[in-house]
Structure formats: structure tokens, C-alpha cells
Structure 1
Amino acid sequence: MAKQRNPRLYWLYFLIPLLILALAVYAFGLVGGGTRSVKENPIVSPPTTNKPSDKSENLDALVRDTFSFSKEGKVVHTPFITGKTKIMEVNQKWGEPNHTTEAESGIYEEYVERHVVVGYVSETVNDIRSYDSELQNIPLNEVKKVGGEPDEVRYYQDETHNQIILVYHVTPSTDLKWILPKPSDRVPNPKVDHISVFTEVKNQSNQQKSISETITGMSMDEKIGQMILAGITGTTMDTNNKSLLTKYKIGGFIFYRENLVNPQQTVQLLNELKSNDLALPLLLGVDQEGGHITRLPGGLANFPTNQEIGTINNSQFSYQVGTLLGKELKAFGFNLDFAPVLDINSNPNNPIIGDRSFGNNPEIVSKLGIQTMNGIQSENVIATIKHFPGHGDTSVDSHLELPIIKKTRIQLEGLELIPFRRAIDNGADVVMVAHILLPQLDSNFPASMSKPIMTDILRNQLGFKGVIITDDMTMGAITEHFDIGQAAVQSLKSGSDIILVGHEYDNIVEIFSSIKTAVQKGEISEQRLNESVERIITLKRKYKINNEKMGNVNIGEMNKSINNLLDEYLK
């Protein structure tokens, strides 16, 4: 009888080879010979040196770091510096952007995975916008708790956004902007959408002459022409209008309602003016204040008067009114608005200001006037604050006679000058000076011809460095008391940059000739001309004024935007 095998040993014969095979496979995997089923962890970029140590756990520290970094042109979590970093450095460090967009303010490159948009002009980074998730945890009240009230409040609205923008001027050339959804009853304390650190960078191509080179190459006639803003004759490009451009080198025009028949004619007239061979682009201005002072044709929906807007007293509403005023003007081809009115309506018998003013409270006039100004400027249209040093306490219409205000300088500083000072501090580029006599300051000349008012107060005391333009020199306040040519000469000698001559071709020619004679006789130096021309060219370049022709105006679309705004605030 044969000997039986142990059954336990029988199973071992099968298990031992299986164990050996398993060990071999495991060893092969350790040395990298096989395919791993577990995914590798993604590579994470090391944090940049300017990243706050206490992330979202300490919002206060994050907000403080954001303010601190912005003063150096930096954004948290981002290694670049506005005003210094070249876009090539960004591309070298971060690679090619996901999207590139060209806008009026520069070129913007989006890095989606970095949650950053980088803007640049002349190859230099000037704007860094961060959509970082930690920043998006910061609520509105935390921003204000750390930063205080912003220097400016702006608003932006389109089909998908309704935002408030808190602007802090952290240095003379750099702004920190916090962009959030507009607060509402449902969400009174919204969280940040993104931030922007923006540094002013001059955009000057190699082909563009410097301003000083441009002025050096200009004739005396061209310089004088830049310093006159003339009223247009009729509704077409007639002989007189052609002469103003070709012979007198006029640098800009003002248009009244009688010049603007309908949208098609208006666009055609402006395009024809731009078609001439001009060394410098034209300023094309109009009084588009809203209320009953409106010039544009075509049945545009009208805005409330400034007095009504002052009663509503809402900064966002004023900003959006200004924005739509700018959109209107830009659509037709205008680039200069003689608005907003910053006069305080302190005299109920005032025949000329009245409901054009935001009211009799300097705080309300300042706040709403500045927001309207900023709204106009946001559309790359030049805003003009008027009528310096304040037309609100007059009882005479300066279109007919010369008003007299017997206030002292101290009294003006306590009321009339408040809105102008604040608007200048908030970026006003053009100031219109009124034809009013203030004998306590200058007993001989109205403000528009007065050195104590235009140079001593406006330039030196208030620090205004922009363009000073007179009110229309054909108004009765001037023509009833002065020779119009000599009035223009006196105005330039006293500090104005542009003489506004609203009516009559002969008046324009007389003023041009009087200024030229004064220069030839040495009464006005050519250096004095150069100073004004430099300011005018600087203004035109800042707003990228050009002679680009416009197409059809969509009145229906603009009216829709206006009516939507009015429906929101005039319920």
C-alpha cells in the first residue's frame, strides 16, 4: 500500500511560488519599472516673498498688507511692481498669457491659473488686478475699517456687473482700487471681487515727438490758434469754418443747439472738421449738463436737473449720470464737456445758475459734482468744472451784464471755493473761469481777466496745474465793458490758457489778431504762449484726443441706458 502525502504540504507547493511572484512584482514597482496607478501630486509654485504670512485667517492683516504693498506698486501674492516691471519679465516668469485684450488704457494679459490680469503701456506694467481667493474673502467693512473712507468712489455697471469701486490714492502716482458688488439691502456688506494697483505710466511711442519738440516746431499762429476755442458758424463746413482751421489754426470748437440739427448732420460736421490736415487734434466741446442745458440732437432722453439730483443726493447716481453724459458725447465724436456746474446756489434770486446747481450745501455740491466729473472722465471725455470762483451768489445774468460779488477772499474760501478745491484735488483737468467782478480781490477786472484770481488763487493757492478756459468772451459781461480783443490779451496775461469765443467769425478774428499783435509788441512773451500750449497738448494727449471719424449714433440704445438708470433712482 502506497504512503499518503500530507495535505497541508500539498497546498504549500502552490502558495510558495505565488508568494515569490508577488514579491518580485512589488520589487519591480519600487525601482520604477512599472506603471503606478496613483496620480502624482501637482507641482505647486512656491509662495512669493510678498505673500502675507497670515492668510485668510486674519483678514485685518491681509487688508493691511494689501495697503502697504500697494504703496510700493505691489499686489499680494504677485512678484511684479507697477511702474517698474517690464511686460517681458512677466512673460519670462509666468509664460504666455491665456488671453490678451487691447483697451484705450493699455494692453491687458490674463493669467487664469494665477487669478491675475496684468496691464501695461509702453512695455511697462501699470496695472495689476488680482482675483485671489483670499482677497475675495474680504468684506467691504473690513476695507473701510483699515483704509478709512476712500479718496474716490466710482461705480461700474453693465449687463452682468453692478459694482462699486473704492479708490485710495496711496501715492501721488499710484491708486489702490477695491472692486466689489454694489451694496444692497440684501447684501449690505459685499465681499471683494478683485483689487487693482494702478500706477500712471506715460504712453509715448518712439515716433511721437515730445511736447517740447512739438512746441518748438510750431509757428506763432499755430500756438495762438491752440489757445482759442471758437464757435462754429452754421451747420456745415462753410468758408468761414474752413478759414478758422487753415488760416487761423484754431485748436478747438464749441457747438450750440443751432449748430446741431440731427445726429447724422452732427456726426458729419464733426467728421468734416477732423478731415482737415491738422498738426494737432481738435477739442470739440459742448454744454451737455443735463436738465435744460443740453445741446445734443436726436431726441435723447433727458436727465433731471442738477438741483433734482442734489435732492436725491446719491453718489452712485451722479457718477452714472456723468458716465452716460460722457457716452453720449463720445458717440457723436465730441471730446470735451463744459460740465459739471460746481456753483453753490446760495442766492435764490440768481437768474443764471438756479437748478443748474446741485444745491446750496457745499458738501453736497462737492460730492455730487466730483462724482459727475469722474463719470464723464471715465468715458475718456474731458470734464470742465465751472464757473470759478463761483457764480452762485449773483443776481445779474453775465450773458447780459457784469455781475458783482462783494465777498472777501476768506468768505469765498468758506463757501464758493470748497467744491473747486476738492474737485482739483480729485483730478479736475479743466476749469472755466466766470465773468464776475470781485472788487475785494480785483477792482479792475472780472475773474476771467484777473491775475489775483486766476494765478494767485487758482494756480498758486489751489494748486491747479491743468487748463484754464474763460467763459464765452462774447457775453455782455465783457462786451459791454471792454474791447473784446484787449480783454482776451488781458486774460492771457493774467493766467488763462484758452479764450472761448462762442459767437461771430469777426470776433474770433479780432481776438486772434489782438493776441498776435500783443506777442509781436512784447506785451505777451512767446514763453507765455508756450506755457499754455504745453498744458493744452498735455491735456489732448492725456485723453488720447484724435481725429478719428465716427459712425452712426444709436439713439435708441442710449435712451434705453438713460431710462434704466432713471427708473432705478427716480422711483
Structure 2
Amino acid sequence: MILREAIGQLFILGFEGHEPSEVLETFVRDLTPGGLILFGRNLGSPEEIAALTNALQVASPTSLFFAIDQEGGKVARLQPPFTQWPAASVYGTVGSTELTYATAHAIAGELMAVGINMNMAPVLDVLSNPANPVMAGRCYGSDAHMVAQHGIACYRGLASKGVLAVGKHFPGHGDTLVDSHLALPVVPHDVGRLSAVELAPFAAAIRAGIPALMTAHLLLPALDPEQPATLSRPILTDLLREQLGFRNLIISDDLLMQGIADNTPPGEAAVRFLEAGGDLMLICQDETVQRQAVRAVAEAIAAGRLSEARVRASYTRIADAKAQYLRRKAAASAEEIRAVVGCEAHRRLAETVGRDSKGS
């Protein structure tokens, strides 16, 4: 049977607290997650964030992904003194992929200075519905080709400093009226429309080599009338793996979001996500639920519901991504952090983007 430590690698987990502690270090040693995700509850000063990531990297038996949502605009976990960046829609208005690349390069520099090596960006959704309650401002725009170009520039800018980019929200959250944090949205379009609009930026990003994509908790009846995308083998394996040729990491959105949790408990969702072809599961809080999900995967393997080959394929993809992106080194020193985080060059860049958007 696959070792418990290997099963832990299939999870990115949230946690409480913003300081290193024996409780946190025991949590990491015990569950051996593939990564941890940081929210406001975990974020102190830049020096405190670096101390936290350093301590947990040392405590972990394997290198950790440290993930964060640092898109810019309203979805930016890192507050001042970190540079405050305009939203993706501003970059779409300006129309310069060079500025998008430069911003992602700068964001990555600030992330790496404090030990954060994975960014849940770029947003590859096409805002075809301006009344969308969750995606407005977060998308580069309503044109699929333009979204693809900016998304690829963002991914490459992050990668230039060693940060793993996670494109989201596959297969496309841009034309919805429901927030998947609260309920399950339905995208009613036929395959032709989906291919031309929703899927197009993801297909372009895959061709460009993006290392990871995040699934959306959406129901697309034209692709799978029964299961949301996160739990759908026709969408994750038949479409994403086989038709679009994606060979890298498939990461779930948070399995505690109501778009999934209303109908599927997290442990069962974790198993179904793996059955569908996914790799890394995101559970952003509640240690009891996180432990139940790890146990559910172990039990599914023991019962033969999940084959060891299926799980080892995901484990291998995760290990390969870590080998490519993670360097087991400490976050920067306090002096190095102060030289990068919120530096004048980054502030000037953010101001330039904002100024250019007003002139567009």
C-alpha cells in the first residue's frame, strides 16, 4: 500500500496561526502535506512571514509548496508594505503584455523573498458576463485571445523568479451568475461555444507550458450533466488530459466551498477528484476535516477503489513539479526582504500601470 506520507503529498492545506509553533510543526510532520496555503490569518510582517515559511519548511519531511492568492486588485492577500498591484482588468485595459510580465516578475520577487513559491494566478477566465458577481475585475477582459496572451505573460513572469503559476478556474468561470463559494454555478453553453471562448485561454496556456491549472466547481451539462468539473472524469481526464494534452498539475479549488460541499463531503470529494484525474486537493481550513480527507483517500486505496497506479501518477507529477520549482533554501534575510518588498521600482511600476489605464 502507498505510504501515508505519499498520500499527504496530494493535499494543499490551510492552517491557523501566523507564528511558528510546535503545534504547527507537528501538524506538518504528521500530515506531510504537499503544500500549505496562506491567508490573512497567517500573515504578519514580511519578516514574520519569512520566519513562518522557514520554520515549516524545516519541519516538513519534504519540500513544501507555499501557495497564496496574489492576483492584484481585490484578491491580494499580501497587504502593505508589500506592493499593491492593480487588478487584472486594468492590465487588460492597458493592453500591454510587457507590463503584465513585469508585474508578475515583481510579484514573484516579493513572494520568493518571504518563502512563497506558488501563486494561484493567472486568472484565465473570460469575462463574457459583466454581471458575474465573483469574477468582475479579476479577469483580463472579455476577449479570449487577449486573456490568453496576458495569462501567458503572467505565468512566464512568475516563473522567471521561480514561482509556480496556477492558472484558474478551469474550464472557465467567466459566464456565471452564481459564486461557487456559495452554490454550484451552471455554464449552459454547447461544446462549440465552450471551445471558442471559455476553453481557449486554457488551451493556449497549456501550449505555452503552464505548470498547473486549478479546477472550478462548475456544472457544464454539455461536457458532464452530472458532476461538477472538479469531480468530473469527462472534464479532467477526457477533455483536459487527453484532448487538450495537459500533462502537468491539476489542482482543485477548495473542497469546502459550497459548490462542492453542499452535495459531497470533503473526504468523498477528495476521492472523486482523484478518480476524475486530479492531482492536488485544496482544503483551506478545519484540521478535523483535513485529517478525514487524508484518511478517506487511504481507505479508498486500501479498498481498491483508487488504484495505486492512479495515485502514484499524481504523486509523480507533484514530485516533478517540486524538483523543477522548489529549491530547499531559506527565505531571504530581513535586509534582503526590505530591499525587495514594496521597493521603489515596484511602486513605480504599479503607478505606471494605473496611470496608463486612465489614458487608455
Question: Aligned partners of 1:568 and 1:392: how far apart in 2?
Answer: 27
User: 1:386 aligns to what?
Assistant: 168
Mapped contact 1:244–1:250 kept (Cα < 8 A) = no
User: 2:347 aligns to what?
Assistant: 563
User: 1:256 aligns to what?
Assistant: 39
Mapped contact 2:113–2:340 kept (Cα < 8 A) = no
User: 2:77 aligns to what?
Assistant: 295
1:330 to 112, 116, 120: 112
The code of the aligned residue for 1:236 comes to: E
User: 1:550 aligns to what?
Assistant: 332
- What does the per-residue CA deviation read over 1:129-182, in whole Å, with 9 as the maximum and x for residues that have no partner? xxxxxxxxxxxxxxxxxxxxxxxxxxxxxxxxxxxxxxxxxxxxxxxxxxxxxx
Q: Provide TM-score, normalisation by structure 1.
A: 0.60
Higher strand share: 1
User: 1:516 aligns to what?
Assistant: 298
The residue correspondences of 1:192-211 to structure 2 (distance < 5 A) are none
1:339 to 109, 115, 121: 121
Shift of 1:470: 0.3
Question: Aligned partners of 1:513 and 1:456: how far apart in 2?
Answer: 28
User: 2:181 aligns to what?
Assistant: 399
Shift of 1:219: 5.0
Mapped contact 1:240–1:505 kept (Cα < 8 A) = no
Shift of 1:485: 0.7
SS at match of 1:413: helix
Mapped contact 1:228–1:250 kept (Cα < 8 A) = yes
Shift of 1:258: 1.6
Mapped contact 1:301–1:559 kept (Cα < 8 A) = yes
Unaligned regions of 5+ residues in structure 1, if any? 1-217
Question: Aligned partners of 2:344 and 2:253: how far apart in 1?
Answer: 33
Shift of 1:409: 2.0
1:418 to 191, 194, 200: 200
Mapped contact 1:497–1:532 kept (Cα < 8 A) = yes
Question: Aligned partners of 1:271 and 1:461: how far apart in 2?
Answer: 40
- What does the per-residue CA deviation read over 1:307-356, in whole Å, with 9 as the maximum and x for residues that have no partner? 11100001111110111111111111111000010000111121111100
Question: Aligned partners of 1:559 and 1:547: how far apart in 2?
Answer: 23
The residue correspondences of 1:38-437 to structure 2 (distance < 5 A) are 220-238=3-21, 240-276=23-59, 278=61, 280-437=62-219
Shift of 1:364: 1.1
Higher helix share: 2
Question: Aligned partners of 1:523 and 1:238: how far apart in 2?
Answer: 37
**Deviant stretches of 4+, over 6 Å:** none
Question: Aligned partners of 1:240 and 1:410: how far apart in 2?
Answer: 51
Question: Aligned partners of 1:521 and 1:557: how far apart in 2?
Answer: 49
Question: Aligned partners of 1:301 and 1:498: how far apart in 2?
Answer: 29
SS at match of 1:356: coil
Relative contact order, higher structure (CA 8 A, sep 6+): 2
Unaligned regions of 5+ residues in structure 2, if any? none
Shift of 1:277: 5.2
Shift of 1:555: 6.1
Mapped contact 1:230–1:500 kept (Cα < 8 A) = yes
SS at match of 2:105: helix
Q: Would you say how many aligned residue pairs link Structure 1 and Structure 2?
A: 353
- What does the per-residue CA deviation read over 1:365-416, in whole Å, with 9 as the maximum and x for residues that have no partner? 1111111111011111100100000000110011111111112222210101
